[in-house]
Amino acid sequence: MGPGVNRVLLTDSIAPAGEEFLSHTVEVVHAPDSDPATIRRMARDADGVIIRSKLPDDIFSAAPRVRAVVVHGAGTDLVPLADATARGVMVANLPGINAQSVAEYCAMAMLMLARNVLSITAAMNTRPWDEARRLGSSARELAALTLGIVGVGEIGQRLAKIARQGFGMRVLGNRRRLDRMAPDAEPREFHDLLREADFVVMAAPLTAETRHMVNARTLALMKPSAWLVNVGRGALVDEHALVEALGAKRIAGAMLDVYEHYRLEPGHALFSLDNAILTPHLAAVTRESRARASVAAAQEMVRMLGGERPRNLVNPEVRP
């Protein structure tokens, strides 16, 4: 690419189809690692950035040339949005692009938790057959259980349909506007949902109101036999309170894909719990969802760098 060509930094890898689309009109550069210092340094010479993980809070002062950011997904909390708007940086995201993959992850989580899969498969390798088999004696049938979904947006709607129409579960839903509930979920206030649900799936966005909405007080409302699944944002859950509740067996267990800090540090208390299943923020990551999102992110970036309005401009105060 010659002089004057826009440069786009990929802080994380994207699917080849998206990178190929970008390469026709911009110079593509890759961050070699996710260290904040690396991202700041690489972004200094970039006009646009496509991200799948959190940007440093000072990214726009460190890289004043950047004028467009695309979130390879829905999570606008990955961007210091107020600073972006103040500096005239357009931010776009892709709401709903990964909804099917995340909903399927939630279905997998419910099955794994209800059937005690992790303990049984571990026991098969280390204990006698009959002992491993006995670990399945407490398994539950999903059709007998109630799912509560907190945040019934694109992901929640798909999960509600899978759970009610596929598994025959009773489904409760909570969102800011209860009168706009998905057809496959019964509207419930948050505290009532916690009391009634056997599975509580957190799929809400992170806002000042939703931060730590799962805490010591609200965890105490859940059934001792209930499980928590978090695919929304880590800070929806007070991690310290959850560790306490899981350790004391005040709830049955949890499956978590997101955490208060993006990466769990070695030795984190969650690793010591036998009733927590942990995955590294991959609920949205499938071959199909990555292909869809990479092309959509590339298209949005090209639009913005070309002076056009993206399809989903997060901060409309900034004019293309």
Higher pLDDT among residues 264 and 298, named by residue: 298
Q: In what order do the strands lie in the sheet with 48-51?
A: 27-30, 7-10, 48-51, 68-71, 90-92
What letter does residue 214 receive in the DSSP assignment? B
Residue 2 pLDDT > 70: no
pLDDT mean over 98-122: 96
Residue 99 has pLDDT above 60, yes or no: yes
Give the whole-number percent of the chain exceeding pLDDT 70: 99
pLDDT of residue 1: 47
Predicted local distance difference test score (pLDDT) of residue 228: 98
Tell which residue, 75, 74, 58, has the closest CA to residue 66.
Answer: 58
Write out pLDDT tens, residues 12-67.
Answer: 999 999 999 999 999 999 999 989 999 999 999 999 999 988 999 999 999 999 99
d(CA 149, CA 194): 10
Q: Give the strands of the sheet with 276-278, arranged side by side.
A: 186-187, 170-174, 146-150, 199-202, 227-230, 253-256, 276-278
Report d(CA 90, CA 85) in Å as an integer: 7
Q: What class, spelled out in words, does domain 99-278 have in CATH?
A: alpha beta
Which helix (H) or strand (E) segment is 245 a member of? helix 239-247
pLDDT, tens digit, 9 for 90 and up, residues 139-189: 999 999 999 999 999 999 999 999 999 999 999 999 999 999 999 999 999
Catalytic one of 281, 290, 292, 303 = 281
CA distance 90 to 50: 12
Catalytic status, residue 281: yes
Closest to 155 (Cα-Cα) out of 266, 233, 272: 233
Task: Please identify which of the residues 158, 175, 233, 290 carries the catalytic annotation.
Answer: 233
**Rounded distance, CA 265 to CA 123, Å?**
27
Angstrom CA distances, 72 to 76, 78, 103, 293, stand at 10, 10, 17, 6
Residue with tokens 């006698």: 128
Q: Is 52 a catalytic residue?
A: no
For 51, 95, 99, the CA distances from 301, given in Å and listed in that order, are 11, 15, 21
pLDDT reading at 261 higher than 90: no
Count CA atoms within 13 Å of residue 274 on its CB side.
7
The values of phi and psi at residue 70, to 5°, are -120, 125
Handedness of CA 51, 56, 58, 59 (dihedral sign): negative
Structure tokens at 244: 């306490």
3-class secondary structure, 68 = strand
Same fold flag, 7-97+287-305 and 99-278:
yes
Query: Mapping DSSP to helix (H, G, I), strand (E, B) and coil, where does residue 192 land?
Result: helix
CA distance 67 to 294: 19
Domain positions in the chain: 7-97+287-305, 99-278
The answer to whether 52 and 11 are in contact (CB under 8 A) is: yes
Query: So what's the architecture of 7-97+287-305 in CATH?
Result: 3-Layer(aba) Sandwich (3.40)
The pLDDT confidence band at residue 314, using thresholds 50, 70 and 90, is very high
Distance separating alpha carbons of residues 160 and 38, to the nearest angstrom:
41
Q: Is 191 labeled as catalytic in the residue annotation? A: no
Radius of gyration of the chain (CA): 21
Confidence of residue 3 (pLDDT cuts 50, 70, 90): low
Place of tokens 């809400």: 204
User: What's this model's pTM, rounded to 2 decimal places?
Assistant: 0.87
Residue from 265, 287, 317, 319 carrying the catalytic annotation: 265
pLDDT band at 72 (very low <50, low <70, confident <90, very high): very high
Q: CA 148, CA 83: separation in Å to the nearest integer?
A: 36
